[in-house]
A and B are shown apart, each in its own frame.
With several copies, the nearest count.
Chain A
């Protein structure tokens, strides 16, 4: 069993209304000094067996096509043993 975490975030140049709403709320709750908030998605995949290079390549491909939209989003893939 292995865990693969894919984080997907809007590209920096794309407006993130959810992050902005959180930023506004933080201010109202009295947390000061927050310069920016961005909201992204995190996918946690539980994989049977080992994640070898072939599987990792496949997961990267899926992160690039299914889990994120390259027009607006960036992603990272991280394997946690």
Chain B
């Protein structure tokens, strides 16, 4: 088969082209013809089709995501913002941190192990390409009904894939989420977050500058796997009866990625690199066009020099291949030898595939013939932009009107106790230890907090103790009830989780998982969620530094719950003063910060006990949220808090149970007066935390809260000497004032209920 050259395209302007099969719309194809002044060659068509896919071009989301750029809070810490591979923030002492979350949802349904593994691989390369050393990963996950047999296939594969790749790379897994909801049955969510650290001077950008500089492709060889993979995959919906199309999935090689990390950091630190870009979705098409588009000149590529795993690949396939573990660097000619020597040391293959010129064009040559000649911006940055119609669907009225008020609630002490035991074992609230024990959290020796703590915390500088904390959160049921508020609540929870650990929230990343943007109802959810998040970030002073959009998460025409996963990064000047979640010793006092209202719509209780979803999500007062965070950080800074844990899924009952199980020591707590005990225990009102203080700082702490006009209530005391009324277990959580009675829960009993669920389902 002969190659379609630029000269052929000029000579045969009317040759039919399979643009629709490649996912391009008629008008998109026409605009490519207009840009080029001729029909594209087949290689050009391949490039445009992958780069203009939803996944790479953000064509449906762009108009809304602009809000993150227009509503930027005053915040001096942002060094690199949206648009680069990942945002970078200043954390002081010359240190910078980059973090980003990305989705790998569709591939993970088709091939759970490899889909999830390559999800980790992809996000890690984004972080390296900024010049940072990756230091931790997190994995927010969503699965379907835990009792559905397919969930077992999906979950066990995804979890082993994340562990298999991350453990082998040597990155501690410091947190994540595991949520079950049948809306994810045919469409699990695998979001992967990576954090990297670097000195300011090490920040690198994806930019091809410097006339005559070489473009070097290094890492794994290019193969035929994943052709059209991520981008086409991520843009297509699965049929209701399962994955009818089974496009080829990429296989990850974490060992190669580990070599790539070490090799890349070594060439960067040796000053051998002018610009750098990872290869993810859209492979060489993406890397070359983005590098060229961000630079000021042009680029020429000799495509036949690319090292191949399969010699039969056509140039179109090479351009589109999404083979993993590859990177692209722009290097001055005088430094090529030194660059190659570092690659050799790490056993990484590298080859010069192109150079930077001043043509203003991206040209690609194949055995002496020109097969691509395009303006790089038109491929990389000036793709189509859609103003897709959006409208609040009518069913929102019904949904919001059918609140949880009429659901049967426990109304006496015995029922409360039984509800407590049931709730402790629901798949969403149960211990995630069975999963997280498959992840290495110790490697690198800088993990200060990891699961099941509220946020993961990493020591950045061993000398000074400077560190960062990260949390990811999203209650998608809230977003389903009100996407604007739901996104804000997700952000608030993540923000709070960072503050609870003693760190100052600094910056935000997000992974916006939604259904089809072609559905106006989904588009409305998306628009609302983005607006909600942008407004909240503006008010709280934490900029969005990057993120990812994943559309088409639906089975047939049923979309997943809108799931805007929000990651917040915070900084802590000395990790020694981190606040752990569990109380320590007898006599410590337990306080509740915040106000509990009858807010059970979208709660875990409504979901788990009644399979109910309706009403309005909890209200949110962002000023109060900020106030709470300041109290939590000040409490840590002044050494007043021995523990703190936020209140979210499962309410105060779950928070207390988690603290007790983590600590192993009993406590006596009393339900607040003036509120229904059931509501107090299981409502999911926002902006609350349970904190533990020592008697000697009690006055001081309470005074601080009162001065800040933040509601604080003493609710209990840590006590290892309590005795269960039912005998048995040695350490107990005793709850007074439950409809006039006292209940007690053995901590061992709670623990065994909590720890039994996941192994029973998936072990």
A interface with B by C-beta (< 8 Å): 10, 13-17, 20-21, 24, 69-72
Contacts and interface: CB of A to CB of B under 8 A. Distances in A.
B248 A71 contact: yes
A15 B111 contact: no
A57 B380 CA distance: 50
B323 interface: yes
A72 B255 contact: no
B223 interface: yes
B180 to A, nearest CB: 21
Contacts of A17: 251-253, 255-256
B253 A72 contact: no
Contacts of B248: 13-14, 71-72
A77 B253 CA distance: 27
B253 A20 contact: yes
Contact of B246 (A20, A21, A71): A71
B347 A24 contact: yes
B248 to A, nearest CB: 7
A15 B250 contact: yes
6 contacts: A14-B225, A14-B248, A15-B225, A17-B255, A72-B114, A72-B251
Contacts of B310: 13
B223 A13 contact: yes
A15 B220 contact: yes
Nearest to B255: A17
Given A71-B110, A71-B111, A72-B111, A15 B246 contact: no
B245 to A, nearest CB: 11
A71 B225 contact: no
B435 to A, nearest CB: 18
Contacts of B255: 17, 21
B305 interface: no
A17 B221 CA distance: 11
B249 A72 contact: yes
Nearest to A20: B253
B650 interface: no
B224 interface: yes
Contacts of A70: 246
A17 B225 CA distance: 13
B309 interface: yes
B161 to A, nearest CB: 12
A70 B243 CA distance: 12
B251 A15 contact: yes
Contacts of B252: 17
A51 B251 CA distance: 31
Residue from A15, A24, A70, A72 with most neighbouring chain B CB atoms (10 Å): A15
Nearest to B256: A17
Contacts of B324: 15
Nearest to B249: A71
B251 A14 contact: yes
A71 B114 CA distance: 11
Interface in B242-287: 246, 248-253, 255-256
Contacts of A10: 251
Contacts of A72: 111, 114, 248-249, 251
A15 B221 CA distance: 9
B111 A69 contact: yes
B246 A13 contact: no
A15 B223 contact: yes
Contacts of B347: 24
Nearest to B246: A71
Contacts of A69: 111
Contacts of A71: 110-111, 246, 248-249
A36 B558 CA distance: 43
A24 B255 CA distance: 13
A21 B259 CA distance: 13
Contacts of A21: 255
A15 B249 contact: no
Nearest to A66: B153
Nearest to B313: A13
A69 B115 CA distance: 13
Interface string B314-358: 000000000110000000000000000000000100000000000
A72 B246 CA distance: 10
Contacts of B225: 13-15
Interface string B676-714: 000000000000000000000000000000000000000
B223 A16 contact: no
Contacts of B110: 71
A72 B111 CA distance: 8
Contacts of B224: 13
Contacts of B111: 69, 71-72
Of all A-B residue pairs in the complex, the 5 with the closest CB atoms, nearest first, are: A17-B253, A13-B224, A15-B251, A71-B111, A71-B246
Interface string B633-661: 00000000000000000000000000000
Nearest to B243: A71
A11 to B, nearest CB: 8
A42 to B, nearest CB: 17
Nearest to B223: A15
Given A15-B253, A71-B111, 9 more contacts: A13-B223, A13-B224, A14-B251, A15-B225, A15-B250, A16-B251, A24-B347, A72-B248, A72-B251
Contacts of A16: 251
B220 to A, nearest CB: 7
A36 B56 CA distance: 35
A15 B114 CA distance: 11
A70 B114 CA distance: 13
